Each structure stands twice: as C-alpha cells, then as structure tokens.
Structure 1
Amino acid sequence: MADALARGWLLAWIVWSMIPIGSLVWVMIHAVTGGRWGDALAPALRPATALVPLAALTFLGIAATLPALYPWAADPGRVKADVARLYLNPVGFDLRAGLALAGWSGLALLVLTGRCTRLVAGLGLAFYGFSLSLVAVDWILSVEPAYVSSAFAADIALHQMLAALAWAALVGVPGRDGQRTGDLAQLILATLLGVLYMGLMAYVVAWYGDLPSKAAWYLKRGEGTWRAVLLAAFVAGGLVPFGMLLFSAVRRSAALLRAVGVLVLVGLALHLAWTLLPAYGDGAGAAAAAGLAGLAVLALLSRRAARFTTRTFADASAPESRHA
C-alpha cells in the first residue's frame, strides 16, 4: 500500500506540476517576445505560475520515497557501477531536483513581483532548458533506467507548455474578442502538433534503431490495457482536439475551446500514465488509483495556495506589456 501511494503521488505530481511550470515558460517567452497573446493569457498563466513554489514543496513527498519509486534507489546494482556512483543516486537526484525547483520558484517570484525583465526571462528560459534536460530523465525515465532518449526532455517541455495552454483554455480568456481566443487556439494547435510529432519520431527512431532496451520499453506499453490507454490518450488528447481546432468556429468560441482544454488535459494525463506506470508491473493499477487521489489533494492545495498568493501579490505590478 505504501508503495502504491508513493507511486500514485509521483504520477499525480508530474501531471499537476506541468500546468504551473508550463505557465512559467509561457510567461517568460512573452517577456522576451511581447505580443497581445501574452497579455490575453496573463489572467490564467500568472496565477498558475504562482504555484511553482508549491510544486517545489510537494516534491518532498517524492524525495522521501525514492526506493519505492526507482529501482536504482532500492538497489544500486540495477545500474552500472559508474552510473550509480556519478549520477543515479539519491544525493545526486535530490540535488538536481532541488536546483531545478528552487530556480523555477525564484523565476516565478520574479514574475509575480513584476521583476521578470527581458534579460531575466531570456536567462530563465536557458536555465529551464538546461535543468529540465536533467530532471525530466530523473523523474520519469529513470523508473526504467535501461531506456534512454535524447529527445525526452524536449518532449516533456512541450507537454508542460501544452498543459499550460489547455489550462488557460479551461479557465477562459477574458473579454469577448474572438481574436483572443483565436490566438490561444492557434498556440494550442501548434504545441499539440509538436507533442504528437515528438512522440511519433521517438517511436520511429526506436523502431529503426532495433535496440533491445528500447524495444522492451515499447513492447511493455503496447500490450493489453496499456495499448487501450495509449489509444485513448491519442484520440482524446490529440486527434479530437486537433480536428476541432481546424474549424474557425471552434477557435473563436470560448466554450468550445474549454472543451478542447479538457480533452487535452485528459489526454496528457493518460499519456503520462502510459509512460510511467507500466514500469511498476502488477502494482500499476493501485498506483493509478492513488494518483487520482493525489490529484485531488494537489487541486485542493492549489486552491488554498492561489488564495494566499493572490492576497500577497495583489499590489505587485505586472511586467509592462509589449504589443506586437
């Protein structure tokens, strides 16, 4: 039971944290590039960005249960001796996670206090790219350390950015300007295509590489229930939203865009479950159930944290808008 709770919390945290971290990325991108889209999405993205420190705090539940989550933490002999000594060990894992989450939390605070200048945002994006290239592998891929993918961090970055946009669609863009919803819809469409492309190319590269470790990873996720989960993720989170966004009536309707946001978030959650949980074999079902409970807990904590940050930073000046 304890292992299932720990694994469920890992899944819930990864799914939930994509929204605040992705929101931070979009806010920094807007600080660098400007444009009306960022001003329109700010009422949704800035409050979500405020939850990045909460993501850092709730990560402690993962750091405290590493042996239940990762085979290399339970038995260092599961990986090569030099890998265990130099990289995949609890101290290194915690240091990399702490560096990334502390850095992202600091950037979020700069955003909330109106101090995220173009230079800060540019440096912040560079730091985000570097740190994510480490922790994405740590947090997700290392549940099966034999499988590696050089493009995995970029894939997770797109997942985070897509989750933030889907959340903005769900919350709704203020005002009745169809152009604002159109901008959001086009951003969702472009990022969704990026997620689908990265997933397909990773599979194609693994297929043509014909390496046993990669083949075993995909074969485990291509059987029985997991095949159905992947199909549901593709249809609900990819195919249907993509088809909907091809119609201008959907792109200009806040209500229909909310439906797109819900579908995308469900699809992302299913895809992350498909990526992570098969590593736990027969315990995957219990971990999935615990993950749903973990999402409920994180949602409750998010509401309380959002109220606190709204009061704390209510008088902070937002960064100066720059229209394209």
Structure 2
Amino acid sequence: MRIEPLSARPWLVLAAITLAVVAAGLAGLVDADGWRMGVTAITGLALASLMLAMIGSLLRREWLDLVEDELLPAGATLPVCLVLALPLVGQTEMASALVTRGIEETARREAWFADWFVLLRLAGSFALALGFVAAMIRLRPLRREVAMIGLPLVATAFAVLLIDWDLVRAPRWWTPIVPFIAITGHLAGALAITFIYHLAQREKGDRIEFRSLAATLLSLALLSIWASVVQYLIAWYGNLPDAAGWYLARFEGAPGLLPLSALVAGAAVFLLLWSRRQKVMLIASILMLAAYLMHTVWWFAGADLPDLASFAAVFAVWAAWLWLLGAWYDARIGPAQGA
C-alpha cells in the first residue's frame, strides 16, 4: 500500500482510528488485562528501538545503516503509546497490594507507588525518551554524542517503568534481574520487527550490512534465551517462595507457552547460524517476533480470547503508526549515510 506521508489525510484517518480505539478502552468495551499487555509490549518496543539506535551509533555498526530509518520512527511512536495507555489510568493496584515486610519498608513502598508519583515518573520517562528521539533525528552529526548521554538515562527510565507496571503485578517477585530480562526481550523484539518492516519496504542494503544485522539478531536472540534460563535457575536453586509463586502463576495461566516460545526462539537462532540470506533472516525475524509476543503473553500469566483481541487491537494501531512515521522519516529525513 502506497502512503503519502506529507499529506494530512493519512494522519487524520489514523488519528481518528486511534481515538476511536482509545474511546472503546475508556468505555470498558475491551479487556483491561489484554489492553495492559498490549500497551506494555508497544511501549517496550518503542523504547527498545530508541536504545538500539543509540547502541548502533555508539558502536558505529553497519546494521544501523540498514534499519535506522525504522528504529527512530519506532521510537517516535511513544506519544501514541502514551495515548493508548489512557484507559489504564486508575486501574493499577500499586501501594494497596504491595508485599509487606516491615512497617518502615512498607511506608517507603507506599510512597514510591503512590498513584500521583507513578504517573509523574511515567510522564517524566516519556518526556525524556521523546527528547532523545527528537535529538537523534534532528542532530544527525552529533548522534553519537547524543547516544552517549542518552543511553544510560533511557535505560534507567525503561527499568523504572518496568518496575512500576510489571513488578507490582501479583504474585510479586522483587529481583533486579527481571527488568534486565524484560529489556533484553524488548530489544530482540524491536530489532526483529524493524527488520521485517525494512524488508516489507523492499529497501536494499549491501552484504556487509545484512551480515552485521544477522550477527546482532543472533546475539540478541541468544542473550534473551540465556537471561531467561539464568532467571529460572536462580529461582529454582535458590528455592525462593516468591519466585516459585511467580512462576507457578504463569505456568498455570499459560501452560506450555514458555517452552514453546523458547523453541521458536531456538529455531530463529538455528536459521541465523545456518544462513545469512535475506529470506532466511526474514523468517528468523518473524520467529523472533512470534517468540517475543508469546513470551509477553506468558509474562502476563496467559490470556483468553478477549485479552488477545485487545492485545491485537493495540498492537495493530501501533504498527500502523510505525508504518506512517517510517514513511514520513524516509520522505523528510532520508536514509542514513553512516552511523
């Protein structure tokens, strides 16, 4: 489908669709758990895309030249993520359902998870990330310097958001490895979906760029699998009651989904080890994205049909904005000429 990104019509049509979907969410016509799952996924993909663009700029890697005009538009979808999150305001449990381990600690947690403070951190994190998205797009000659300053700040904001919106979900397991694993998974999913979008536009790249991207896809897939295995081993050998409850809830809510996602991710790894051809990389990327989506459903302890429908609606709206912003980026900014 051909898009005219400099025309007002596609923007107005997509804005109207987005507002209609958000109105349905505010009216309670969609499933709240599935909606939260979708918003978490798209926000994670947007922030991870920005982080990947920064990492590529810092390392001066060839793969960034290939997918930069998809990664930065994906980061620019953060306002869409914020709009789609509106139906979730006021639905978080926060302080009232936190684990209590002492009066002083409980008081600190209640203060940290006060609704107004959570929303303030949310707004601050989004504003910070959007500022660096704009700087990465507009300050191309200074992109490496922007990435040097922005990467640790964006990563920290990302981790805080994960704690605010994921770790408070019952049953709770308070461990610093969870944000790391979640960010790793989002990075793998973000690179996979932006590469799929890149090939959907039939853009061309040289052999070195594709080999560099294949190596990065392989590294992120292996890192994501490794981090999940390490988390499970820590919980298993540590015999931690909170961790056992955390895993049991997910295995009961989505039986078999975690091993299935691991098998799909393993198939992607095998393909990337076997060949670096574009078609093989495309299939591997699709498998990585499928594994990411399955792991997201498992992370939220499963989903029924209404959950999946809400998840699909949020994801489809976000993907449409990614497509339109990517077309705008190509028309106004143009492809990169080096990291």
Could you say which residue in structure 1 is the equivalent of 2:22?
Answer: none
Partner of 1:241: 268
Residue of structure 2 aligned with 1:228, choices 230, 238, 256? 256
Q: Against the structure 1 CA distance between its residues 257 and 107, is the aligned structure 2 distance closer, same or farther, given a 3 Å change threshold?
A: same
Match of 1:300 in 2: 320
- Displacement of 1:228 in angstroms is 1.9
Structure 1 residue 97: Cα displacement = 1.3
The 2-side partners of 1:57 and 1:163 are apart by 22
Determine if contact 1:206/1:214 at 8 Å carries over to the other structure: yes
Structure 1: how far apart are the matches of 2:48 and 2:255? 27
Post-superposition shift, 1:83? 4.5
TM-score, normalization: structure 2? 0.80
Find the aligned partners of 2:50 and 2:180 in 1 and give their Cα distance: 16
**1:9 aligns to 2:35 (yes or no):** yes
- Counterpart amino acid of residue 298 in structure 1: W
Partner of residue 131, structure 2:
106
Q: Decide whether aligned partners of structure 1 residues 82 and 4 sit closer, same or farther in structure 2, where only a CA change above 3 A counts.
A: farther
- Could you tell me which of 268, 281, 291 is aligned with 1:257? 281
CA contact (8 A) 2:254 2:298 kept: yes
Could you tell me how far 1:128 is from its partner in structure 2? 1.5
Residue identity in the other structure for 1:244: L
What aligned pairs does 1:134-283 form with structure 2 within 5 A after superposition? 134-144=160-170, 146-172=172-198, 174-175=203-204, 177-223=206-252, 226-236=254-264, 238-248=265-275, 251=276, 253-278=277-302
Instruction: Tell me the equivalent position of 1:51.
Output: 77
Q: Do the aligned residues in 2 keep the contact of 1:56 with 1:102 (CA within 8 Å)? A: no
CA distance in 2, matches of 1:132, 1:155: 12
Aligned pairs, how many? 304
Structure 1: tracts of 5 or more residues without a match? none
**CA contact 2:218–2:272 (8 Å) conserved in 1:** yes
Could you tell me how far 1:277 is from its partner in structure 2?
Answer: 3.5
- The CA deviation at 1:320 is 6.7
- The alpha-carbon distance between structure 1 residues 154 and 29, as it changes in their structure 2 partners (threshold 3 A), is same
Q: Given residue 239 of structure 1, which amino acid in structure 2 is its aligned partner?
A: G
> Using a 3 Å threshold, how does the CA distance of structure 1 residues 307 and 171 change in structure 2: closer, same or farther?
closer
**1:72 corresponds to:** 94
Q: Alignment partner of 2:71: what SS?
A: helix
Aligned CA distance change for structure 1 residues 78 and 21 (closer, same or farther; 3 Å): closer
Q: Give the SS at the match of 1:141.
A: coil
Assess if the C-alpha contact under 8 Å between 2:171 and 2:249 holds in 1: no
Q: How does 1:113-132 map to 2 (within 5 A)?
A: 113-114=138-139, 116-132=142-158
**Aligned partners of 2:65 and 2:337 also within 8 Å:** no
Partner of 2:52: 26
- Report the residue type matching 2:218 in the other structure: L
> CA 1:48/1:78 → structure 2, altered by over 3 Å: closer, same or farther?
closer
Asked if the contact 1:113/1:317 (under 8 Å) is kept, the reply is no
Residue segments in structure 2 that go unaligned for 5+ positions in a row: 1-26, 101-105
Give the CA deviation at 1:27: 1.4
Cα distance, 1:77 vs structure 2: 5.1
Query: What RMSD, in angstroms, separates the aligned Cα atoms of the two structures?
Result: 2.6
Q: 1:275: how far off?
A: 0.7
Is 1:321–2:321 an aligned residue pair? no
Question: How far apart are residue 125 of structure 1 and its match?
Answer: 0.6
